[in-house]
Amino acid sequence: MPEIYINDRSYPFKEGETILEVARRNNIYIPVMCYLKEITPTGACRLCLVEIEGVDKPAAACVTYALDGMKIYTDTEKVKKDRKRMLDFVLIKHPLDCPVCDKAGECMLQDTAYEFGINEESISSEKPDKPVFDWGFIINDTNLCVMCERCVKVCHEITGCSALKIEERGFNNIINTTTGDTLSCDFCGLCVDFCPVGALLDKPYKHSVRSWDLDKIKTFCTYCPVGCEIEADIHNNEIFRCRSTENSFICSLGRYAFKYPENENRIKSPMIKDGNSYITTDWNTAISKIEEKLKGIKQNYGDDSIAFVLGSRLDTETLMGYKKLADELGTNKILADIQFENDEIYKIHKSKFGTYDNVGVLGDIKESDLIFVIGSDLSSEALGIKWRVMNAVIHNSAKLVTIGAKKYEYDEFTDISLLADYGDYASIFEGIKSGDSEFSSDIREYIESSDKISFIVGNEFISSEAKPESVYAFLDYVGKDKLQSFFIVSDKTNITASLTSGITELGYTPAQLSKDISNSRVKAVIAVGFYPFNTYGNYKMLRKSVENTELFISVDMFVNDFNKKSDIILPALSALECEGSYLTLDGRVIRSSTVFTSDTESKTDVSILSSLASVLGVELPESNEEVWSKLVAGKNGIPAIDFYEIDGFITKDKDYDFNKTSFSYESRSEGTVEIFVNAKHHNNYLSTAAVVEKDVDGYLKKYYFDVEDTVVSGKDACFDGKCDLVDNIAKGTVLIPKNLK
């Protein structure tokens, strides 16, 4: 193996490694500001200068490749002098605003200046007067920018948004949007996290709390099933910002949607309906009222007259606990929210692989040679998946084929992008297999030349394809040996636990529930963390039928247009206020941390479950730790570990089959297909509650994005309402935001 010498010691290296990479791997310190291991190096700051024997000029370690026998020195007086000179050059343009800068205390430039012993300007200069851009949730003060290019590279190479560019030249250059106007991106804020100075800042955080006054708590985002680790920064029991960590890249949900516990509709105490309004009460009174009502229903109609509907925001302990309660009561009348949507694909998935689990882990996507994104707008369904896809394309030169109801925002990265007119994906699969079009032959060539192929299947496909088994038949065509990973993407937080719990195996359906309520077979419905949008058929049916029950109990965080019909509302804590475990899209076990304490009388979902179970004559634990130990750990492939050993890296056991899928293509008639999609930056009901405005010392701060409710359609589509005709939408399809009123 070739070797280089750093400070007279030899170190082996792999061909293609830079001096900086070799040094870092061997714990040799070289200062950097522009370098990030996740992006291609720029050599912009020149703080990593080193001396190479036989070379007259200093070299930037981040962009200089190691060569066999090369001798490098990282700490000579000449190197130190060269680095200090480069830092002086950076400081010529940078305002000395540390006392008032929001980045003070965590600024790389400030830290490096102290490290180099620079306490004042060595060269006095007139500072630039450049523009300050307000991009909604991100502020860009170009006067503070050191042109390290991190933000531009991160936006392009990690997120695939390519929303930033370098504008002008020399002394006048700035970072601006590629549109030259508004910032058009996913607003993940990674550019803010990786900005080494105070040029890019989160607008909601700006001018709030000094960094050294913040307590930093790591937890996991529970907005979607990707399960990214986040750092929540707290002061006086209040969250002021959320950021990515060394283990994750987060999205706008994880970054900005943390104020939902402060929504004005937050339920702070148990509520009992009194006529057309609610009165607040204490827990003992509320549970006594429930006991009185449920005992009467049980006595008159039996245990089978009580039904449970569960939302996927719930932690694994709660989902497994309600399944246990249903088992003890001898009833199958328990439903997960995924069953109210198009859940047929999950049954087909299980018949294909012998499990509900997705095939592979998220890291497998990046290692793929070819990726099919089928009916999944990753920007609004699962940005954590999109990051992996972008990394595969940009860093692994993977081929990307998208088939969807629209052209996606990252279309410039796709090799082939196809529209599924009238929601007919199956015809495209058939064309790929045997068609004579140019795209068909190109995709066949991609498949033939690839060893690792990943599939990502999302909501647009699930909602519109009449024969969802077609994608599994297409997988048969690709072949088992080439399969790298297969993911059904969902916006539902704990969908993996919902499926793992066995609830969906009980055979009960949403249609049966509405029918049983209408026929008086179900007298009581207990809805836990469950919100039915007023757009889906099964959801709409339940909204209407639930009014005919004798008892409707809601366990939730907010009063909304669904549970305001309930007789009793019990307030639950959010995932930011308690501990609970979740199963991610790829089967990792994550655990939320208590980030702050609530000023409400709310309880954990598990504690509320224990109280309801006791009323029904079933004893269940009151804490998540105990439920995990008794009902979750070591079962259903979930590792038998202690609750507090959950760290986000351990994965549930997954065992796959690969059964042939029976499918015969039949052409379908043209007709309008309505597809219910997430509004940008929004994910289920919880994110809508994050649209919070708060008066901070007379300044109105907004903490999340408004809900976009524009309906768009392609040509030849009919919709009973106002919609915008868009060219890049598939023919015969209408895309309707789920939370459309």
- How far apart are alpha carbons 62 and 42 in whole angstroms? 8
Contacts of residue 555, defined as CB under 8 A and 6 or more positions apart, other chains included, come to 526, 527, 528, 529, 569, 570, 572, 605, 608
pLDDT the model gives residue 306? 97
- How far apart are alpha carbons 326 and 306 in whole angstroms? 9
Across 493-537, the runs of DSSP E, i.e. the strands, are 524-528
pLDDT band at 212 (very low <50, low <70, confident <90, very high): very high
Is 80 exceeded by the pLDDT of residue 283?
yes
pLDDT band at 625 (very low <50, low <70, confident <90, very high): very high
671-697 pLDDT, tens digit each: 899 999 988 899 878 899 999 998 888
4-18 pLDDT, tens digit each: 999 999 999 999 999
pLDDT the model gives residue 741? 62
Query: From the CB of residue 482, how many other CB atoms can be counted at a distance below 10 Å?
Result: 16
pLDDT band at 726 (very low <50, low <70, confident <90, very high): confident
108-120 pLDDT, tens digit each: 999 999 998 887 7
Contact assessment for residue 23 and residue 75, using Cβ atoms and an 8 Å cutoff: no
512-539 pLDDT, tens digit each: 999 999 999 999 999 999 999 887 789 9
CATH code for the structural domain at 3-88: 3.10.20.740
286-340 pLDDT, tens digit each: 999 999 999 999 999 998 999 999 999 999 999 999 999 999 999 999 999 999 9
Q: Which DSSP string corresponds to 130-142?
A: --EEE-SSEEEET
pLDDT the model gives residue 698? 79
pLDDT the model gives residue 301? 93
Pairwise pLDDT comparison (723 vs 225), residue with the higher score: 225
CATH code for the structural domain at 344-488: 3.40.228.10
461-474 pLDDT, tens digit each: 999 999 999 999 99
Domain borders along the chain are: 3-88, 125-262, 344-488, 673-737
| Burial class of residue 54, CB neighbours in 10 A (0-12, 13-18, 19+) | exposed
pLDDT the model gives residue 699? 81
Alpha-carbon radius of gyration of the chain = 28
Q: Residues 227, 231, 232, CA angle at the centre, nearest 5°?
A: 110
Is 70 exceeded by the pLDDT of residue 485?
yes
Highest mean pLDDT pick, 119-123, 237-241, 722-726: 237-241
First to last CA, the chain: 65
- How far apart are alpha carbons 719 and 672 in whole angstroms? 8
The domain 125-262 is placed in CATH, from the list 3.40.47.10, 3.90.100.10, 3.40.50.720, 3.30.70.20, at 3.30.70.20
Model pTM score: 0.94
547-566 pLDDT, tens digit each: 999 999 999 999 999 999 99
Average pLDDT, integer, range 263-280: 94
**Cα–Cα distance list, 60 to 17, 48, 65, 248, 527 (Å):** 13, 5, 10, 28, 61
